[in-house]
Structure 1
Amino acid sequence: MSAAQCETKDAFGQSPDRLARKIAYYIFMNRVVEAILVSLIAACFMVTTIIDGILGTRVERRFIDSLRSISRDKLSRLRRAQIRYIFRCQYGLSKIKIRLAGGSYWLSIPCVVEGRKDGRPVKYMAKIINDQSAVKHRYMTMLRNLGIIAGGVEFWFEQYDSARDMASFERHCLDRLREKGVNSPAVMGMHSLNEEDYMLVTEFIEGKTLSDVTLGTAEISDVLATLKKMHDSKVIHGDIKLDNFLYSGGKVYLIDCLKIGHTTLPVAQAFDLICALCSLCEKAPVDTVMGLARRHFTEDELTYAGTMLDVAVSKVDIDLPPEKARELRQELGNPV
């Protein structure tokens, strides 16, 4: 593609449904609409939790999965064209192929972009973050903060002002993780697809998310060591879960972050730790996880993290069986 052809993206910057998206955006960002929908969703969570507690069913998990399915964004033809355009112009790629990445995405659209550059094959990871991402994150944040208030924890999740703010924060978070020596993908750039949509481009790491890997002691220890290194460097992640760890070449890589507002650093660190413990216990025995955790964290740190167990298990992306939650609670010295 010539330089002249790369000077403008107007052909791809206008979406046919742009007006409809704008109207929907302003409706869902209305305070009254927010209050009504959050109340309804919170009520559904309460009802499904009660049903599961009485009947031992998985109604709440099915409800969560349905919310994700309904709200999951699509990789449309327009977005494919925009991605190809950026990678031709900014990264010099030819013969471009685009496919959705794995994982339980619903707040963004992660894509693997393959092509050729200087005669050799290359791959990048491209994450599309748009106004719908910001709206969904806003509602998720309000629901999470309701759970935090109920749990009496002294921190909260912060909302993003826009899709640009969301993409910029993730870029900053990944840069800071690498700066502190934590394995994470290098950021290659951030690009505006139009005034509402942004694309964060990072190096592609060939591997699997930990949710798709059999967890042994080495993998569990690597996760806990990574978390300890972050906390020693005063870095907070905010969204620890198995899908936010990649396993590649015998190493664990950390991706994605969420904003946390907090009055004291130990509170946010404890929340990261309890989410890590819950996530690891989903796929490994509780005593194995706790035995390795005690090699990296003090008993005081683990006990403090245990006070946030109820908040952690209420996260929609943590699926810890009730029997394991009870076992973990006992291990953490925080019985009911």
Structure 2
Amino acid sequence: MEFRRLIRGRVDEPQLERIGREIAKRYDRESVRISVLEADNWLSTPCVVDEEWFVKVISPQNALVQALFTGARNLGVFSRGEEGFFERFEDPLAMSQHELEATRRVREIGLNAPEPIEAFGVDEFGVLVLEYLPEFRTLDELPSTEVEALASELFSALTLMHANNLAHGDLRGENVLVHGGELYFIDATNVRKDGLSTARAYDIACAIATLEPALGANCTVDLAAEHYDAATLLAARDFLDLVRLRPDHEFEATRLKGEIERRAD
């Protein structure tokens, strides 16, 4: 956990105060109340402002970590003879602007996502403002019965993203919100068309890695097989070792690969 805190970093109180003043100015308020959410988020400091907006503050350290993670993940993709599809951003503002646009695209194709409001810079920070969803839970907080009931919706959403040249790229339990019994997606990304097939396989690998701890390998693969053919699942299997290298995914990779191979035979 200390390692996670080190690379995730935190935004200091004076910096949050400056950002709060800018938000108040933009929305014609004398002041705002910022509450920092406790979450193992590598690429931003997530906050709630006045119980009305969900705000992600992206620091230069977050941008550096994103660049390092992107390079490592693309290297893993290249080592499999595939074209890398993860995009590196120049600075925190570019990261926030990209997520704003990707969130708009998610909503345009008919999937649930918090309403994107704006992205702007404050000093060296990028600030993304989204609609705040009260009383949401994340997918990894749900009991296994609820996860199983939502798994089909998760795979269907990924299929719709991929059909519209979108990918998630960072699918994990904390990035799938459950509100009013429906899934809401955050942290999606745009990808190049020539990298979509690779991004698709990676997304599916992340999805089954996210579901396996709650459902087990057999049930997870059975549910995935209702949406994908054997060739697609085998392509996802090839990315499971890469997904396992991430510190925010803990799952039984060997069992998942075995179940996929059994079903493909």
* Normalised TM-score (structure 1): 0.71
Asked if 1:333 corresponds to 2:261, the answer is yes
The letter for the 1-side match of 2:98 is F
Moved over 4 A (4+): 258-262
The letter for the 1-side match of 2:230 is E
- For the 8 Å contact 1:103–1:209, the answer to whether it is kept is no
State the partner residue of 2:234: 303
State the partner residue of 2:90: 161
Report the Cα offset of residue 219 of structure 1. Answer: 2.0
- Aligned with residue 205 of structure 2, among 266, 271, 274: 274
The letter for the 2-side match of 1:71 is I
SS of 2:152 mapped into structure 1: helix
SS of 1:182 mapped into structure 2: coil
Structure 2 alignment gaps of length 5 or more? none
Structure 1 alignment gaps of length 5 or more? 1-64, 115-121
With 171-180 and 302-311 compared, the bigger mean Cα shift is at 302-311
State the partner residue of 1:85: 21
- Aligned with residue 248 of structure 1, among 179, 197, 214: 179
State the partner residue of 1:106: 42
- Aligned with residue 180 of structure 1, among 109, 113, 131: 109
Offset from partner CA, 1:265-313 (integer Å, 9 cap, x none): 2221111111111111122212222222122222222122222222222
Distance 1:314 1:153, change over 3 A: farther
Distance 1:260 1:310, change over 3 A: farther
Distance 2:170 2:92 in 1: 18
State the partner residue of 1:71: 7
SS of 1:316 mapped into structure 2: coil
- For the 8 Å contact 1:154–1:262, the answer to whether it is kept is no
State the partner residue of 1:231: 162
The letter for the 1-side match of 2:16 is R
Report the Cα offset of residue 184 of structure 1. Answer: 0.7
Identity of aligned residues (%): 28
Distance 2:65 2:88 in 1: 10
Report the Cα offset of residue 158 of structure 1. Answer: 2.4
- For the 8 Å contact 1:138–1:160, the answer to whether it is kept is yes
Distance 1:316 1:164, change over 3 A: same
State the partner residue of 2:131: 203
Distance 1:197 1:243 in 2: 23
Offset from partner CA, 1:158-178 (integer Å, 9 cap, x none): 211111211111111101100
State the partner residue of 1:317: 248
Tell me how many residue pairs correspond in the alignment: 260
- For the 8 Å contact 2:172–2:206, the answer to whether it is kept is yes
State the partner residue of 1:221: 152
Distance 1:215 1:244 in 2: 17
Offset from partner CA, 1:69-103 (integer Å, 9 cap, x none): 21232232222322321232222345632111243
With 219-228 and 94-103 compared, the bigger mean Cα shift is at 94-103
The letter for the 2-side match of 1:81 is E
Q: Root-mean-square deviation (CA), in Å?
A: 2.2
Distance 1:214 1:178 in 2: 27
SS of 2:33 mapped into structure 1: strand
- For the 8 Å contact 1:157–1:259, the answer to whether it is kept is no
Report the Cα offset of residue 250 of structure 1. Answer: 0.3
Distance 1:189 1:172, change over 3 A: same
- For the 8 Å contact 2:21–2:32, the answer to whether it is kept is no
